[in-house]
Amino acid sequence: MRDRQFQDGKDRVGGWRRRFHEIIFESDTPEGKAHGFTSIPVGVYWAVVTLTTVGYGDIAPQTALGKVLASFAMIMGYGIIAVPTGIVTAELTWHAPLTVSGQSCPQCSAEGHDSDAIFCRRCGSRL
């Protein structure tokens, strides 16, 4: 009985997979064999090239190994730019000079306002 249930579940998954494959790869939609999407790895390579805005250009890798290496290089290129940019920006904001005036609010006696503040940051009254 249990083997029969397992087999039925396996058939359902296989049927779902078959329908998905027909919809994505064999239909006349923009995603199909006629448009160059012959397999999922080809689609992933297209997504990496598109999202990294590298584009295909005049020279593009033709082999699977070349596409894997090119994808790796594209993603690493973004990492080389994005990671240090975030670190430098965080450091610049961390070390930004804070200018605080010594004036206090006449209404609520709050202190620590910015040097160019006109209104109290706590109650909103004029300083």
Q: Which pLDDT score, from 0 to 100, does residue 6 have?
A: 47
Q: What is the pLDDT of residues 49-92, one digit of tens each?
A: 888 878 777 778 888 898 899 889 988 988 888 888 888 888 88
Residue 119 pairs in a beta bridge with 126
Query: How would residue 98 be classed by pLDDT, with cut points 50, 70 and 90?
Result: low
Q: CA of 111: how far to CAs of 55, 103, 116, 123, 125, in Å?
A: 55, 6, 13, 12, 13
Cα 80-86-89 angle, rounded to 5 deg = 130
pTM over 0.75: no
Question: How many Cβ atoms sit within 10 Å of the Cβ of residue 103?
Answer: 14
Compute CA 109 distance to the chain's CA centroid, rounded to the nearest angstrom.
46
Cβ pair 37, 43 in contact under 8 A: yes
Q: Which pLDDT score, from 0 to 100, does residue 127 have?
A: 82
Q: What is the pLDDT of residues 2-48, one digit of tens each?
A: 555 445 445 565 677 777 777 666 655 566 666 677 777 888 888 88
Residue 100 pairs in a beta bridge with 114
For the packed helices 64-94 and 40-51, what is the interaxial angle rounded to 10 degrees?
Answer: 40
Cβ pair 93, 80 in contact under 8 A: no
